[in-house]
């Protein structure tokens, strides 16, 4: 058995680790927008409605992906949110992520898009049989 064949058996677990770590990082963005933790400087005044909607998507969607429940639809919505965020917030600065600090949005977008097709991997509620 080759090394590649031996690694193949761990694929669902590697996918689960990618899903869990990505979800934890995404949840942090939601708590930052909704609860101010970790602290961030979003400017003066009230929170714009679009920011609140983004925070809810990040918190709720992140929790769903974290536990692997409704992973594909949640990941689809979050991938779309990140594409929208990239074009709304980062592209006006520059199209290139290296110049507009949009690397995170691009990575989140494509990791979530991958989860739409790959599913949750191991350790997911989606995999439980009734």
pTM of the model as a whole: 0.92
Whole-angstrom distance, CA of residue 9 vs CA of residue 35: 40
Portion of the chain with pLDDT greater than 90, in percent: 87
How confident is the model at residue 129, as a pLDDT? 73
3-state secondary structure 31-66: HHHHHCCCCCCCCCCCCCHHHHHHHHHHHHHHHHHH
How confident is the model at residue 101, as a pLDDT? 95
Query: Tens digit of pLDDT for each residue in 32-70?
Result: 999 999 998 776 666 689 999 999 999 999 999 999 999
């Amino acid at each position: 058995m080759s090394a590649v064949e031996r690694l193949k058996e761990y694929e669902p677990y590697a996918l689960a680790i990618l899903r869990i770590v990505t979800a934890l990082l995404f949840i942090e963005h939601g708590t930052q927008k909704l609860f101010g933790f970790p602290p961030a400087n979003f400017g003066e005044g009230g929170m714009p409605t679009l920011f609140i909607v983004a925070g809810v998507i990040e918190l709720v969607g992140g929790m769903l992906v974290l536990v692997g429940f409704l992973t594909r639809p949640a990941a689809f919505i979050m991938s779309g949110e990140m594409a929208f965020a990239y074009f709304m917030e980062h592209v006006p600065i520059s199209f290139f992520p290296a110049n507009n600090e949009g690397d995170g949005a691009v990575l989140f977008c494509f990791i979530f898009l991958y989860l739409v097709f790959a599913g949750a991997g191991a350790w997911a509620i989606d995999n439980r049989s009734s």
